[in-house]
Structure 1
Amino acid sequence: MFANYFTIAWRNIIKRPLFSAINIIGLAIGLMSCLLIMLFVRSESGYDTWLPDSERIARLHTAYTMPGRPPFLTVRSAGRVMPALRDYLTNEIEAGVRLVSWGTTILKDGQGFSDGVIFADQDLFNVIDLPLVHGTSASSFNKPNDLLVTEETAIRYFGRTDVVGETLTLCCMGDQPVELAISGVLKDLPENTHLNLSLLVYMDVALFSTFPGVLETWNSVNVFSYFKLREGISLAQTQTRINYWLNNESPYAEQFKEFMGTETDMKVTDGVKLKLMGIEDIYLKARKDAGSMGDFKTLGDEKMVFTFTLVAFLILLIACINFMNLSTARAGQRAKEVAMRKVLGASRQKVATQFLFEATALVFISMLIALVAVEIALPYYNEILNKSIAFDLLKDPQLLGAIFTIVILVGLGAGSYPALVLSRYLPGQILKASKSNDSEGSAKLRSALVVIQFAVSIGLLICTSVVYLQTKHANEIDLGYNKDQKLVLNIGPLQDNRDSLKQELEALPVIDQVVFSSEVPSQDFENNTNFTRPGVDGNEPISELLNYHNMDFGFFETYDVEPVAGRLFDESYGTDIFVPATEEQAGKGGAILNMSAVRKLGFDTPEQAIGVTLRQQLREGTSEITIVGVIPDIYFRSIKFDVRPSIYLLNKARLRVATITYSNAGPVEVRKAIEDIWTKLAPMQPIDLQFLNEMIESQYRQEVAQMRLFSAFAVLAVIVACLGLYGLAAFSAERRTKEIGIRKVMGASVKDIIMLLIWQFSRPVLLANVLAWPVAVWLMLSWLEQFPQRIDLVILLPICIFAAVVSVLIAWLTVGGNAARVAAANPIGALRHE
């Protein structure tokens, strides 16, 4: 029986090569898109589920949401919070660990390597049980300066993995190098983890004595805090207990009353939130909590995964609609075949099975083509996504099973309606009528399916256009400074010799300027503290949280930032230099505000702020800071985040990076000259040098990838829809051959015939626009909300009109060829057509 099904299916495929090719190519494109997106979704899902007891591990995120201030979100927490919660919530928490990411230099045999280490508390393995290939969790991580390395790291430094007992030198903590003894080797972590642990160091609290803002703080958020919950304890239970601690027994409660006043009805949790997130959710869901501070790895985007899953479904739906449309269109031509099969004894079930088998056979052929296409497209796909997705069916039975399931489901889904329609024909009516049985209902259904196809395609076109324009806008917006021809050099190892470094660099003919700062645009370390403006005319003082940056003389001049009031930092004014407060004396110095800070502190005009002294109260003492200038708002971070009220200080103790401007040579020559100077001054330290333009562009890498993928899949959706429209147009032209001949005999011109056929397919395309516009606009308005600086929303209307024009033109071009061919035919031949 199945051999008969196969024979009939094959004969029908080769009998109508045009319709078969359209079905196969359309399904192949849909299946290829589905497979590519399925591979992406699979790579993004299931992160960290491989960890033992992963369902009991959670990380603590912090959010400060004080009234009247923009929320401050981060996936980190303050150094003293984890031990406090661990000791307070003994019934809920089994163990806790802090991880501190530290960029540094590793020395081996007199050679320096730029590497990052992760410091961890001794309870690391009680919370996150990482697999070891050499050593044990009990003996390999139990004393200061114990070092664990991954297999890949061991091979990179030593060329082998059995390296227990070897040493590496960390340079430096403060001014002191630290010798680390390798006590164990970790198995390389799989790709589907948010952790990035190449060098893991036992945390010696004494190493951080010169960095009190890391471990000994309740407010500065610089550590990653993980907890392992006890058996049977849920995240919700633990979160409730954390909230109680915050509001009633934490140090935050007293601080909050002092800050807000004892009369306030607000709770600590209205301003300070400590939120637990399960480790399995971190990769895809922590993005919304991360703010502009990074995680161990670049996080995924749950919305992007959902969006592309939907896109895959829609493209496959369009391909299936093509199949159903063309199958039902051809149903009348196969009516006699169905009638004869039934007369010869075939049941309706067997007829339906025949057509389902044909549909599945076509899907199988399409899947074979799609697999080849995926293999060809995968390297480019990985490049766009910046991933290394593998595609090896022979080693991936799960993927093989998924592909088999897709073939069956798509075959049944695409073939179900044609099978139901064709199998219900009554043989007596068909043979008696001696004509096709294409009902009015089938024609209306085909028109409805064409509307759905083009509505999806038009929606994707609109979304792609908006994503493209927003990405272009992000890259071209005036950031408030000149970002061209600048290199950024991390001067950490030469921080104490920066004057010598500056002299050496500025002596090079290819270098124009060298200025130092704590950070540069695209580097935002979320430094925030309170500054108080004295009360005026009997009014209360105004205290506001401001983001602060530190820089040296010449920073704003280098970036072509002009003051809107007052002046910039000037070496002729010795009072501009910030002198930190000590227990013996108050701090002092000058400051420059941005316009957002001017408004936040209640000044009516920027000129009004000049000369006003702000007070900064820190643990070390009080500082009096005089405003000397006001500059426009500039984007120190991505335009995905709004400009924050910021204050700029001239604190020479906090200068960590150099901005190097060049104009007299090419970037390769400039980079080589800088590297030569660095090697001369710091022969054992690797250089950390980047182009500022590349640093800024990297902030939008994910949006660019989204735009490119959207564009590709939108084009594929349009191609599939056009294939179906072309097939229907060819079928319609063939069915109306005699009608067209009569029209020509009655005096209709070729132009009239072409317009008649084109209008037939223009109506569903125009209706598709009516359906697609509101849905696409609503989706894009929701997407654009994440950007404080976004394209003018008025442009959505011309984008929709553009999509309508493109879709109609595509429909005309697709249908026009067939229409012209049929319209130009000799009417005598048309009248003889059966």
Structure 2
Amino acid sequence: MFKNYVKIAWRNLVKNKMYSAINLTGLTIGMTCFILIALFIQFETSFDKNHEKADWIYRIAQQQKGNEYRGTDLFALAPLPLSEALMADFPEVESVTNLNLGGGLLVKNNKSFAERGLYTDENVFDVFTIPLIQGIGKEALEDPNSIILTESLAKKIFGDTPPIGQSILFGNETPLTVSGIVMDPPKNQHFNYSYIVSYKITDYYPNDVGSWASNNYHAYLTLAEGFDYKELEQKMISYKKFTVPAYKQYNLNFFPTFLLQPIKDIYLHSKMNMEIGVNSDIRYIYFFSFIALIILFLASINYMNLATAKSAQRAKEVGVSKVLGASKKHMVVQFLGESFILTLFSLLLAIMLAKLLLPSFNGLLNKEIPFAIVGNWWAFVGMLFIALIIGVLSGLYPALFLSAVNPIKALKGNFLKSHKEGAFLRNSLVVGQFVVAMVLAIGSIVIYQQLEFVQNKNLGYTKEEVVHVPYFEKEIAEKEDLIRSQLLSHPRINKVSFSTQLPMNVTSQGIVRDWEGNADNQEIFIYRTYVDYDFLDLFEMELIEGRGFSKEFYTDSTEAYVLNEAAVKKMGWTSAAGKKFHDGKVIGVVKDFHLQTFDLAIEPQYMTMRNIPQLRNFGQVILKIDTNNYKNTKEFIEKTMKAIVPLAPYEARFMVDSYSQMYDSETRLGRAFSVFTFLALFIAGMGLFGLVSFHVLKRTKEIGIRKVLGSSVFGIVNLLAKDFLKLVVIALVIATPIAYYFMNNWLMDYAYRIDIQWWVFVLVGMGISLVAFTTISFQSVKAARSNPVKSLRTE
């Protein structure tokens, strides 16, 4: 009997080629999207699970109430003495390690390698799982003169030469011995590195020893199994006896409360200041999960719609089967079998498509997601289970609908007339499809508009024709004048400036208490940028009061400040030029400019000259250029700087590109929205095409009679189209408040944002109506232009 069911199911699929193709295409697209998104979710939720003790590893963070920085008072940092105190005071703490990530220049045989390294202690091997390939690991970090390389970096530097025991210059100054080779950290780990050294070689380490107010480390601990980390959090309140006096020493009026964060929560759930790496957001998981289910839902709706629409053609088949003794159960199994065969075939096609499309999907999301299906038995089982669920959900209603056919009515041919409720269900499903497509389309447009707003809004400074070169070398500060003169010798380089930061992403913040009129000894948190004489002019910042920095005034190099409007307002001044501020005086005020991303409001800021030696050892070389023949100019910039400081790496970047990079995740979200919107519209359009085709087939005789009686092609098209276009209008009415609610919530994350315009909804409604009308008209015109004699002969 099973063989017979399969045979009948296959014959029906082959016989109805168009409907089978529509269903197969829709299900294949839906399942391909589902597989790709499932791989994405699997990858994103697997972060930091590679460590053997992952369930018991926690990061130490802190909350500093009263110290809000970049929108939050949470910091992913800890002081160095905390680790020793935890080990001494709490036996449930098995191990604690302190680490940091930073750039470093490794030199071998006069060849330099700019890499990102892990600066830590020997306990890092007790907390994290770092597989050792050669040499020693934990013991190597007890010696500040040792370095551990990852497998890929060792290959890059030494090739086939054995690396263990070889010497490398760190920062072109300090010789380090290669003591161990470890595996490359996995891509699904929240921090990555290419070498490991002791943090004792850093300049800041001596000042951090014993200092409870110096937060330069990311600290992680392992708890013994069975202990609740929340209980340890409460016990850590006792360390205020160390932090409060330490912070008061620096006249700080806020004090840290230490927190513990499970390592598995960091990548998707952490939004703290000073994160060790770039995290994702759990909302993206929810968004893509929703998209996957929606695309599958649309494909399943197509199957249900077309199967129930074709019920009239199969009613007699069911009637004959029942007369010959088939039970309702047999009929349900037969129709579910057809659905499952189609779904299984779609699954096989979807797996192959997903394999082919994964590189493009990775490019869209900027990920390195592996194709973790082949060889993964549970993934195969999971995919088969999904296919079974889809097959059952898609085919269940048509199966129950057809199996309930009264054989007498079916054989008489009046089965369809007594089932008007089937039409209501089909119409409801069509409306559901277009509601989803419209919500995605509206979302796509709103995201695009917000990103365009971000890219094109007047920032308060110019970023066009500006190139910047990041640097981290002390030698640059000593040779600034030489670099400036050499760069300006190029005819297409117009201005050169040196600064600690670019104006688009100011991160340095401090406290100011001294300003004219501050009788109550209040304090303000203020962002700060250390610049040179040409900075304001190069960025064409608008001065609304006073003047900028000038070499004509000797004191400008030591005690001059330029404030933004927000700082002046914060201090309650109506004018600022000439007033006492901090350890100097204000010489000018610039018009407010966006110093951070658009999710943050403009905060108080000051600019002053780079007169502190430590602040000259890193920063940005900024150039205003003529962009004609940029390739030649870029080569000249990098070649000139390399000639002056040879071993350091330099990369000239357009500031416009760096600015766009700040919104990379939003841009990729917008692209994903667009892709899925297109797929949703395509699937909905295919379903509508199939439904209209059947609708036209069912009314073939009616169309023939109307033509004989004088109806025009336009009249017949209008007759067939109006019912379906009504459904599109209903879908728009339902989709509008849903889309507005979700997109307005998304925009709330931005301090500066667009308003959702009414015309967006009209545009989407008209666009989708046009798609629907085109789909309907294609079949309607074909039917209207057919020979009425043939139509009247149709059974």
TM-score range, shorter chain: over 0.9
> Which stretch has the larger CA shift, 711-720 or 192-201?
192-201
Give secondary structure in 2 for the equivalent of 1:77. Answer: coil
Q: Which amino acid aligns with 2:448?
A: Y
Which of 570, 573, 596 matches 1:637? 596
The corresponding residue for 1:223 is 217
**Is 2:133 aligned against 1:133?**
yes
Asked if the contact 2:76/2:275 (under 8 Å) is kept, the reply is no
- What is the SS of the residue equivalent to 2:225? coil
Asked whether 1:422 is paired with 2:405, we answer: no
Given candidates 758, 770, 780, the residue that maps to 1:809 is 770
**2:747 matches 1:784:** yes
Residues 576/438 of structure 1: CA separation in 2 closer, same or farther (3 Å cut): farther
Tell me the equivalent position of 1:123. Answer: 123
Contact kept, 8 Å, 2:27 with 2:296, in 1: the verdict is: yes
Structure 1 position 92, deviation (Å): 4.5
Shift of 1:322: 0.4
2:517 is aligned, of 535, 553, 559, to: 535
Give the 3 Å change call, closer, same or farther, for CA 436–42 of structure 1 in structure 2.
Answer: same
- Distance in 1 of aligned mates of 2:672 and 2:70: 33
Aligned pairs for 1:424-573 (under 5 A) are 424-433=404-413, 436=416, 439-493=419-473, 494-535=476-517, 539-573=519-553
What is the rounded CA distance, in whole Å, between the counterparts of 1:412 and 1:281 in structure 2?
36
CA gap 1:112/1:68 in 2 versus in 1, 3 angstroms: closer
Residue in 2 that maps onto 1:700: 663
Moved more, 435-444 or 120-129: 435-444
Partner in structure 1 of residue 571 of structure 2: 601
Residues 374-383 or 428-437, more deviating: 428-437
How far the C-alpha of 1:486 sits from its partner, in A, is: 2.3
**Distance 1:142-1:80 versus aligned 2 partners, 3 A rule:** closer
Compared CA separation, residues 225 and 168, structure 1 to 2 (3 A) = same
Q: Contact (CA 8 Å) 1:488, 1:692: kept in 2 or not?
A: yes
Q: Which amino acid aligns with 1:120?
A: T
Aligned partner letter, 2:298: I
Task: Write the distance in 2 (CA, Å) between the matches of 1:664 and 1:317.
Answer: 50
Amino acid corresponding to residue 39 of structure 2 in structure 1: L
The 5 Å alignment of 1:286-365 reads 286=270, 288-290=271-273, 293=274, 295-296=276-277, 298-365=278-345
Contact 1:98 1:223 in 2 (8 A): yes
CA–CA distance in 1 between the matches of 2:295 and 2:628? Answer: 49
Shift of 1:444: 0.6
2:208 is the counterpart of 1:245: no
In the comparison of the two structures, how many residue pairs are matched? 789
Asked if structure 2 preserves the Cα contact closer than 8 Å seen for 1:486 and 1:659, the reply is yes
Q: Deviations over 1:28-57 (max 9, x none)?
A: 111121122122222212111110111111
1:781 to 1:602, Cα distance in 2 relative to 1, 3 A? same
1:191 is the counterpart of 2:184:
no
Alpha-carbon distance, 1:732 to partner = 1.0
How far is the alpha carbon of 1:466 from its aligned partner? 1.0
Q: 1-side partners of 2:374 and 2:79: how far apart?
A: 48
Cα displacement (A) at 1:161:
8.3
Unaligned runs of 5+ in 2: none
Partner of 1:739: 702
CA distance in 2, matches of 1:26, 1:505: 59
* 1:173-210 CA distance string (max 9 Å, x none): xxxx2222222111122221112121110221774357
Q: Matches of 1:775 and 1:386 in 2, distance apart?
A: 29
Mapped partners of 1:779, 1:259: distance in 2: 45
Distance 1:637 1:808 in 2: 41
* 8 Å Cα contact 2:117-2:194 kept in structure 1: yes
Map of 2:107 onto structure 1: 107
Aligned with 1:679: secondary structure?
helix
Q: State the secondary structure of the residue aligned to 2:140.
A: coil
Q: Quick one: which amino acid aligns to residue 601 of structure 1? A: M
Report the CA distance between 1:722 and its aligned residue.
Answer: 0.6
Deviation at 1:831, TM superposition (A): 3.4
Deviation above 6 Å: which 4+ runs of structure 1? Answer: 67-70, 256-261
Letter paired with 1:807: I
1:591 aligns with 2:584: no
Q: Counterpart in 1 of 2:610?
A: 651
1:61-76 equivalent positions in 2, closer than 5 A: 61-66=61-66, 71-73=71-73, 76=76
CA contact (8 A) 1:338 1:351 kept: yes
Conservation of the 8 A alpha-carbon contact between 2:212 and 2:242? no
Cα distance change on mapping 1:800 and 1:395 into 2, 3 Å = same
Q: How far has the Cα of 1:67 moved from its partner?
A: 8.0
8 Å CA contact retained: 1:122, 1:203: no
Percent identity between matched residues is 29
Secondary structure of 2:374's match? helix
1:684 aligns with 2:676: no
Q: 1:279 aligns with which of 246, 260, 263?
A: 263
Flag the 1:474–1:218 CA change in 2: closer, same or farther, 3 A.
farther
Aligned ranges 1:145-184 → 2 under 5 Å? 145-160=145-160, 162-171=162-171, 177-184=173-180
Distance apart, 1:275 and its partner CA: 3.4
Is the Cα contact below 8 Å between 2:548 and 2:562 reproduced in 1?
Answer: yes
Rounded to whole Å, the distance in 2 between the matches of 1:513 and 1:260 is 40
Structure 2 letter corresponding to 1:590:
A
The 3-state SS of whatever aligns with 2:543 is: coil
Distance 1:60 1:260, change over 3 A: closer
Distance 1:138 1:98 in 2: 14
Q: State how 1:3-14 maps to structure 2 within 5 Å.
A: 3-14=3-14
Letter of the 1:153 partner, please give it: L
Q: What's the counterpart of residue 393 of structure 2?
A: 413
Q: Which amino acid aligns with 1:799?
A: V
Pairwise CA distance, 1:116 = 2.3
C-alpha displacement of 1:687: 2.4
Query: Which moves more between the two structures, 41-50 or 423-432?
Result: 423-432
**Alpha carbons of 1:258 and 1:513: their partners in 2 closer, same or farther (altered >3 Å)?**
closer
Structure 1 residues 548 and 403 mapped into 2: Cα distance closer, same or farther (>3 Å)? same
Alpha-carbon distance in 1 for matches of 2:62, 2:749: 20
Which stretch of structure 1 is more off in the superposition, 113-122 or 90-99? 90-99
Q: Kindly provide the amino acid, as one letter, of the partner of residue 114 in structure 1.
A: A
CA contact (8 A) 2:147 2:177 kept: yes
Relative distance call for 1:217 and 1:82 in structure 2 (3 A) is same
User: Which 5+ residue runs of structure 1 have no aligned equivalent?
Assistant: 262-267, 579-588, 616-623
Output the TM-score relative to the length of structure 2.
0.94
CA distance in 2, matches of 1:209, 1:308: 43
Could you say what secondary structure the match of 1:225 adopts?
A: strand
Matched-pair contact (CA < 8 Å) for 1:64–1:71: no
8 A Cα contact 1:101 1:223, kept in partner = no
Q: Is the 8 A contact 1:22 1:723 kept in 2?
A: yes
* Post-superposition offset of 1:413: 1.4
2: distance between equivalents of 1:135 and 1:385? 37
What CA distance in whole angstroms lies between the structure 1 residues aligned with 2:214 and 2:606? 18
| CA distance in structure 2 between the aligned counterparts of 1:341 and 1:352, rounded to whole angstroms | 12
Q: State the shift of 1:234 in Å.
A: 2.2
What is the CA distance between 1:742 and its match in structure 2? 3.7
What is the CA-CA distance between 1:564 and the residue it aligns to? Answer: 0.9
Does the aligned pair in 1 maintain the 2:316–2:413 contact within 8 Å?
no
Query: Are 2:199 and 2:205, in contact at CA under 8 Å, matched by a contact in 1?
Result: no
Distance, in Å, in 1 between the alignment partners of 2:736 and 2:344 is 35
Q: CA deviation at 1:415?
A: 0.9
Distance in 2 (CA, whole Å) between partners of 1:632 and 1:273 is 37
CA distance in 1, matches of 2:733, 2:724: 15
The 8 Å contact of residues 550 and 649 in structure 1, kept in 2 or not, is answered as: yes
- The letter of the residue matching 2:192 is N
Q: Given the two structures, how large is their TM-score scaled by the length of structure 1?
A: 0.89
Alpha-carbon separation, structure 2, partners of 1:73 and 1:134: 43
**In structure 1, distance between residues paired with 2:110 and 2:682:** 60
Q: How many angstroms apart in 2 are the aligned matches of 1:818 and 1:438?
A: 26
